[in-house]
Structure 1
C-alpha cells in the first residue's frame, strides 16, 4: 500500500490504456477506485485486475461529451464519500482525414467537448468540493501536442492547449485552499488508441511507466510534468524559433496523402 494516498481515488478514461495503467498502479487494499470510461467490457476487465490487488471498485460507463451528465455523476459520487485524488485521463484523439484540407466540424466539436469542456468542468467541480474540505489532489492529463500548432491535428492540439491553460489557472485559484492541481503533458504512449494514429512515435513509453511517472508527480504536488524530457526541450524550441521556420517544420510533419 502506497503511503499518503486517500481512500477514494477517481480515474476517468479507465477503459483506455493509460487510465487502466493508472488504475492498476493505485490498486491496493483498503482503497476504493472509482473507474469511469466508455468501454464497459474493458472497464470490467480492468476492475477485475484491480480487485485481485485488493481494491474495492466502483465502475461507471460515461460518454464524456455529455459534460452535464459527467458533472452530475461526479457530484453524486463525491457526496457518497470524499474523493481525495482524481486523475482525469479521459480524452479523445484524432487527425484530419486523408485528403481533407481541415478537420471535420463534428470532430472538432467532439474533441473540444471531451478534451477541454468536460475535463475542465469536472476539475472545477472537484476543486470546489476539495477546497471546502481543505485538501485534495487533481491530475489533469493533457498532451505535449498542446505546445504545437499541428496542422493535421488542430482540434486535438487546440483542445489540449485549452486544457493546459485552464489547469494552470485552476491551480493558482485553489492552491491556498489545500488543493493541488497537476498538469501532465506526455508524449507518445503505447496504447491501442495511439497505435491507430499513423506516423512515427519517437520516445514511445509503455503505459505502466507513464502511470508511475504521473503518480510520482501527483504525490509531489508538481505543477507541471512533461515527459519524456525531449518533449520539454521541443516546447522551448517551438517558442524560440522564428515563425517562418516553425511553420515550415510543422507543415513538414503533416502526413502525406496516400
Structure 2
C-alpha cells in the first residue's frame, strides 16, 4: 500500500502511544488522511501537528476502547465519513504479575483481556465487514511475541495476545477471498515509555520507528504474519519443539526478580 496514494485514509488506534505514534509519523505524507485515535488528547494533538507538517491531513478522536460498543460505533462513524483504506489497531497494554502476588490480579486480567483482545478483535471484525462490502482494504493487528509462550508471570498479557493471534489468523482466512487483507504483527520488545515501565530484561529491543517501518513493509508485501526481530520466530519454533517439562522449567526461569 502506497502512503502517497491520493485520498488514502489510514486509521491508527493507540496513536497516543509509542508504536501508534511511530506508525502515524511513518505514514504521514501528502495525499494521506490520518484518523488518529488514543486516550491522551495532548499527545494526539502534538502528533497531529507533526503529521500535518509532513503534508497529511489529520482528524483526532480521544476515547477508551475498553467501552467496546462505543468504540465500534465510533469506528462505523469514522468509516462512513470517509472509507478507511488501512486500519492499524495498535492499542494495547502490557503488564506483569506484581512481585508480591502469587497470581495476577483479577482486575488486571480483565483489563488486559479487553484492551489486548476483545476490543481490537471486535473493532477489526466491524472494519472487516465494511471492507468486505467494498472488496478492498487492509487491517493490521498488533500482537506480541509473548503470545508464543505461556509466561507464568504475564499470563494475562501473553494469553490475551495469543487470543488476538488466533483471531487474526481466522479473520484473514475468512475475508481474503473478498479482497481484504489482514496482517498480524508479533513484535518483541519495543523501546516505548510503557515498555520501559515493565521490569525485567528486554533483549533485542527495537525502536518504535524501526517497528513502524517493518510493519509498513509487511503491509506493502501483503504478509499474513510479521515476527520481529527474527530471533523471536526461532524462539517460537524452539518453544514448540521442547518437551513440556523442559519448556516449563525454561519459562519459570524467565520471571523477573521480585
- Matched residues in 2 for 1:118 and 1:5: separation? 30
| C-alpha displacement of 1:9 | 0.4
Aligned residue runs from structure 1 range 106-145, under 5 A: 106-145=107-146
Q: Aligned with 1:256: secondary structure?
A: coil
Q: CA RMSD in A?
A: 1.1
Contact 2:4/2:32 (<8 A) preserved: no
Residues 13-162 of structure 1: pairs in structure 2 closer than 5 A: 13-162=14-163
Please tell me whether the aligned partners of residues 201 and 256 of structure 2 are also in contact (alpha carbons under 8 angstroms). Answer: no
Please list the CA deviations of residues 130-177 of structure 1 after superposition, one character each: whole Å capped at 9, or x if unmatched: 000010000000000000000110000000000000000000000000
* Equivalences, count: 257
Structure 1 residue runs without a partner (length 5+): none
CA–CA separation in structure 2 for the residues paired with 1:94 and 1:145: 12
Displacement of 1:7? 1.2
3-state SS of 2:48 partner: helix
Moved more, 232-241 or 3-12: 3-12
Q: CA deviation at 1:6?
A: 6.0
Matches within 5 A, 1:163-242: 163-242=164-243
**2: CA distance between counterparts of 1:64 and 1:11?**
12
Cα drift, residue 5 of structure 1? 7.7
* Alignment CA distance shift 1:246-1:5 (3 Å): farther
Asked if 2 retains the 8 angstrom alpha-carbon contact of 1:6 and 1:85, the reply is: no
How many Å separate the matches in 2 of 1:168 and 1:123?
A: 12
- Does structure 1 conserve the Cα–Cα contact (< 8 Å) formed by 2:6 and 2:31? no
Question: Could you say what secondary structure the match of 1:152 adopts?
Answer: coil
Q: Distance in 1 between matches of 2:256 and 2:141?
A: 29
Equivalent residue, structure 2, for 1:244: 245
TM-score by length of 2: 0.98
Runs of 4+ that moved beyond 4 A: 3-6
State the alpha-carbon separation in 2 of the partners of residues 32 and 185 from structure 1: 26
- On the 8 A contact 2:168/2:183 being kept in 1, the answer is yes
Q: Using the alignment, how far apart are the partners of 2:222 and 2:119 within structure 1?
A: 23
Distance (whole Å) between structure 1 residues aligned to residue 202 and residue 82 of structure 2: 40
- Relative to structure 1, the CA distance from residue 148 to residue 6 in structure 2 (aligned partners, 3 Å threshold; closer, same or farther) is farther
TM-score using structure 1 length: 0.98
CA distance in 2, matches of 1:71, 1:2: 25
